Amino acid sequence: MSAVIVSGKDLAVEKRAFIKEKVSELHMEKSIQPCLAVILVGQDPASQSYVRAKQKACEEAGIKSILEEYPSSITQEELLNRITHFNDDASVHGILVQLPLPDHIDELAVIEHISPNKDVDGFHPVNIGRMMIDQKSFLPCTPYGIVEMIKSLDVSISGKHVVVIGRSNIVGKPVGQLLLKEDATVTYCHSRTKDLASITKQADILIAAVGRAKIIGPEYVKDGAIVIDVGVNRLETGKLCGDVDFESVKEKASFITPVPGGVGPMTITMLLHNTLQSAQNQASENKTFSS
């Protein structure tokens, strides 16, 4: 048996075409063009690459993007002032501050300063809290994308045992919560988990979000499991790989995501989705969902 490779790239093309159609409809019917404002601090090459990918995706979907770049010497107060400006600008529907930020800036303070109604990354505590109690909110993009990928397989999530390896606020914790909402039974594993393989081998759906190259081999995987690899690691050769040893695990899994080309494209796709949703919220009578 060899697993079916789940292409996030192909699914992203399909979903972005739908988003583009809805963006066009909103512009024609309500004269509203969804707009994403991105703030980039410093010269981190990875951050610059991510931002370029997001801008390109916005352009292709018909979403206006604004990019403001600042040196790493910017003060926290100056950064918060720019966020306030975008919070107050009705033509801006989403605000994204590219992480990581320089050490002298409090990332949580920056995230909390973004209006929950424009927090299209889904990181604001208001959005995370509302997600936890099943109220309307912006969902974190990577976990949201993972759930959409699993749903695309036409496999029922209800009743499945999901094991999440990793407990980060950005991926691990929220993806487990979203799958719990889909009636899965969810187990979290992490660096302090004893006898990890004995737990992961129970998983119908295994989600690896550790950040360590090829740490998950076939001995961690149940026959026929769905394996979602969130990790992006760079080997000494410069080649990208995930947390899962793809070549060996694909012989045990029923479905597996590659790295690159798996979860990554869906993360940006759900960012576009959230930005569109924010613009649609503005166009509707129920303009906000923050307290």
Which positions are annotated as active-site residues?
Answer: 54, 98, 121
Alpha-carbon span 28 to 34, nearest angstrom: 12
Alpha-carbon span 186 to 162, nearest angstrom: 5
31 annotated as belonging to a binding site for a ligand: no
168 annotated as belonging to a binding site for a ligand: yes
Alpha-carbon span 206 to 227, nearest angstrom: 5
234 annotated as belonging to a binding site for a ligand: no
129 annotated as belonging to a binding site for a ligand: no
Task: Give the contacts of 88 (CB within 8 A, at least 6 positions apart).
Answer: none
Token match 């009578």: residue?
Answer: 285
Q: Check residue 62 and give left, alpha or beta (phi > 0: left; psi -120 to 50: alpha).
A: left
User: Binding site: residue ranges?
Assistant: 166-168, 232
User: Binding site for NADP(+): residue ranges?
Assistant: 166-168, 232
